[in-house]
Amino acid sequence: MTPPNRANVLNGRRFRREIAAALAVHTPGAAPRPDDPGLPGSGSSDVNGIDGWAIATRLRVNRDLSGSLRAAQQMAEREGAEFAAAVVSGRGAAGSAEDAYVVLDVATFSRLIAVARPAPTPPISKEHL
């Protein structure tokens, strides 16, 4: 196996930090996984601090969406997380958080819709008027 290109490793780390920062805007505590696997908080998820989630970040020219999602699902299994998502860089060589895509399976997407949807308001009967 060919060792990873140093520039690719550094760009991947930068992308992971950018994604964590973007998520932290609405999810305080979101933080990138430390670069050193021996440090505390260096679980398998690329973004830590979001309870119940395993997130894989992928900065790639070849956007293997299903492979990226599989990696996130494996992270979720290892960590006992309920949800898994892959964040994949968008078009362009630089890859920025603003242009990234989030990849979920349909089952997870369906569960998120159900949670985010407000409960229907029961009709008011004439007796209560």
Instruction: Yes or no: say if 52 and 38 are a contact pair by the CB < 8 Å rule.
Output: no
User: Residue 21: helix, strand or coil by DSSP?
Assistant: helix
Work out the burial of residue 96: count CB atoms within 10 Å of its CB; fewer than 13 is exposed, 13-18 middle, 19 or more buried: middle
Portion of the chain with pLDDT greater than 70, in percent: 84
Q: Which residue has the higher pLDDT, 95 or 113?
A: 113
Percent of the chain with pLDDT over 90: 48
Which pLDDT value is given to residue 2?
59
- Sorted by where each begins, the domain ranges of the chain are 6-128
pLDDT (0 to 100) of residue 59: 83
**Any idea which of 2-16, 96-110, 114-128 has the lowest mean pLDDT?**
114-128
pLDDT tens sequence across 20-76: 999 999 998 899 988 766 555 556 789 999 999 999 999 876 678 999 999 999 999
Q: Residue 74 half-sphere exposure, CB side, CA atoms within 13 Å?
A: 8
Instruction: Please tell me what DSSP assigns to residue 99.
Output: G
- What's the CA gap between 82 and 108, in Å, rounded? 9
Q: Would you say residue 93 has pLDDT above 60?
A: no
Q: Which of 71, 98, 64, 99 is nearest to 85 (CA)?
A: 71
